[in-house]
Amino acid sequence: MNDGTLLHGAPPNEDASPLGVFRVAPWVVSPVELAGDGLGIMYWRSFGVPWIAEDIHERFKTMAPPEVGPLIRPAFAVGLFPRWNGSAYYPTKIPDLIGIEDRKYIDHTATHQHRGPADLMRYAALVTYSDASDFGPHRMLSDTQRRIPSRAPDEALYALAQYLYSLEPPLNPNLSDPRISTGRQIFNREGCGSCHTPPLYTNNKLTLTEGFTPPPGHARALDIAHVSKGCGTGGGTSTTAPLRLSRRCSTRRDCRTISCRRASCRLVRKLAP
């Protein structure tokens, strides 16, 4: 924050790359220890989409370490990083954890349902050390790497979930700004609230990207919105991102676009090759 205080649960406000790409990045990116891999193959396992013809990540397989660094480094920026199952070419936005308790889906692309602490615990366990990364017939990890090295106790995961649920956004310091009421009028006039519905400023529904047809029965079971946000690159889903517009201020610094990002779409394709 401007006054120097640290806001727990908010996306980072600092560029992670000065920490040193070679020292930190592989472990930041990968949820499992990729023993026996060179740097290039490690990143291929993280990002590769082998069922797509001419996958741009294929080149990582044969890359020498000095070539990998300059490619990976720009993917680390304020609020962004090249996450596992994401891409160095389309870095992933680090989400705000404040308010997670009220969200029905986890991840921008709604990869997991969130019905309570048990789902959050499962998600934490999955992304921390047990993501097998199998996509249909495509296996991204070797047999050794697939072995789960350790497991956090349920008590620890439950405590983690309770901590995340306890996070509170700070009070909005701009409440006396007269432009707030003008902004509210615009918000109402433009119908933003049909998707960013008060009081959570998300309707907590899935929105389909253009060209993606959910399997039969899914529309009702998953509470999919009737309107699509559109997406230039093909199928998938996205959640209507929660906005904080009332008494709380937004801690996001990278709300630059409301259009669907390509990495999100690719990620969903990866889930359903």
Please, what is the end-to-end C-alpha distance for the chain in angstroms? 42
Of 240, 251, 268, 269, the one binding ligand HEC (CB under 6 A) is 240
Q: Is 190 in the site for ligand HEC (CB under 6 A)?
A: yes
Q: Is 179 in the site for ligand HEC (CB under 6 A)?
A: no
Q: Is 244 in the site for ligand HEC (CB under 6 A)?
A: no
Q: Which token pair is 116? A: 């309570």
Of 103, 237, 264, 269, the one binding ligand HEC (CB under 6 A) is 264
Q: Is 83 in the site for ligand HEC (CB under 6 A)?
A: no
Q: How far is the CB of 245 from ligand HEC (least distance, A)?
A: 9
Instruction: Give me the residues paired with residue 139 across strands.
Output: 134
Of 19, 132, 175, 227, the one binding ligand HEC (CB under 6 A) is 227
DSSP 252: -
Q: Is 241 in the site for ligand HEC (CB under 6 A)?
A: yes
Cβ-based neighbour number of residue 247 at 10 Å: 9
DSSP 96: P
H runs (alpha helix) in 73-203 = 117-129, 143-146, 154-166, 179-189
Q: How many residues bind ligand HEC (CB under 6 A)?
A: 20
Strand runs (DSSP E) across 55-183, as ranges?
Answer: 80-81, 92-93, 105-106, 112-113, 134-135, 138-139
Interface positions with ligand HEC (CB under 6 A): 108, 190-192, 194-196, 207, 227, 229, 238, 240-241, 243, 252, 255, 258, 260-261, 264
